[in-house]
Amino acid sequence: MPLNKARISPMDRGFLFGDGVYEVMAQVDGRIRAKSLHAQRLRSSLDSIGLETSIEQVFTDVERLTKKVGFSTAKIYVQVTRGTADVREHAFPTIVSPTIFITISEFEAIPQFASQAIVRPDIRWRKNHIKSVALLGNVLLMQEARDSAAQEAILYRGEYVTEASTSNVFVIRGQKVVTPPLSDLILPGITRHLVIEIAQLLGISVLEDNIRVDSLPEADGIFLSSSTRGLMPIVSLNPGGCVGNGELTSTFLALQHAYDERLRCYE
Ligand code: PLP
């Protein structure tokens, strides 16, 4: 339905408590990239918050809507909340009827330009492996990036990098690529997963290891990964200055090219 006809109750728990999860997918040339991996992650996010919903039904609806809308290249957002209850109460309602909201908007899948990132403490909660709709920490961090004329915020807890406000982080050291290991501190990015697979296919060695935040300025290259932006190179840090010699490395360019090629045939 048109956006101005869609209605959600003000008692929706997504609105009141941020009690819900979501998924973001990119459709390129009429195909949803890595759909089965997105379906698995949505399942896992829903399980983590104890919310039962038929993933099959959600994806049937997504398919129906993408056909109806007819965009070739689009961003697809699926939000699932714990629905509405008459009484405002933190604990789950006894009867739950999830609210499911799917939006599809046209976008251009173009290679990302060399970008800047601010580097900031990770102020978010401790369960970032759940793709929660409660994104206030991410929102504040991204705004801080924009206010500093940067495109992203790279985050750290203690001495180590976690991820960025809307993407995962990779560091290039010589011929090697390093990314923080999966834990409850980061989202298991679908693009992160694909980059690791692609690097292995290209014979580039990938290490899932902690990255000291103070080592970032010494990297030969840094890039961020997400479904809607693909691989985004970071050439300047604040604080930290220029990354490597400020040029995109051959390792990055090989990965970015292979990522775009391979995703045309990834189910
Ligand atoms: N980390 C965070 C905090 C994100 O919000 C996102 C994407 O929205 C990612 C990582 C990248 O995940 P994906 O590659 O699945 O898009």
Q: How far is the CA of 200 from the centre of ligand 1 (A)?
A: 21
Q: Which helix (H) or strand (E) holds 20?
A: strand 20-28
**Atom number in ligand 1 closest to CA 38:** 15
Q: Is the pLDDT of residue 265 over 70?
A: no
Query: What residue ranges line ligand 1, CB within 6 angstroms?
Result: 24, 138, 163, 166-168, 187, 189-192, 225-227
Which CATH number does the domain 3-106 belong to among 3.40.228.10, 3.40.50.11900, 3.40.50.970, 3.30.470.10? 3.30.470.10
Q: Whose CA is nearest to atom 10 of ligand 1?
A: 167
Annotated active-site residue 131? The verdict is yes
Could you tell me which CATH class the domain 115-262 is placed in?
alpha beta
Q: pLDDT (tens digit, 9 = 90+) per residue, 141-177?
A: 999 999 999 999 999 999 999 999 999 999 999 999 9
Q: How far is the CA of 129 from the centre of ligand 1 (A)?
A: 10
Q: Is the pLDDT of residue 51 over 70?
A: yes
Q: How far is the CA of 86 from the centre of ligand 1 (A)?
A: 33
Which one is catalytic: 35, 67, 68, 131? 131
Residue 149 one-letter amino acid: A
**Who contacts 165 (Cβ-Cβ below 8 Å, separation ≥6)?**
138, 141, 142, 145, 152, 153, 155
Q: Return the best residue to mutate from 186, 226, 227 for the ligand 1 pocket (most ligand atoms within 8 A of CB).
A: 226
Q: How far is the CA of 164 from the centre of ligand 1 (A)?
A: 8
**Atom number in ligand 1 closest to CA 128:** 3
Least confident range of 84-98, 104-118, 124-138, 225-239: 104-118
pLDDT category at 109 given cuts 50, 70, 90 is: confident
How much of the chain is in helix, strand and coil states, percent to nearest 5?
30, 30, 40
Q: Is the pLDDT of residue 263 over 80?
A: no
Q: How far is the CA of 7 from the centre of ligand 1 (A)?
A: 27
**Atom number in ligand 1 closest to CA 228:** 16
pLDDT category at 71 given cuts 50, 70, 90 is: very high
Q: Where are the domains of the chain?
A: 3-106, 115-262
Q: Does residue 13 contact residue 82 with C-beta atoms inside 8 Å?
A: yes
Q: pLDDT (tens digit, 9 = 90+) per residue, 193-231?
A: 999 999 999 999 999 999 999 999 999 999 999 999 999
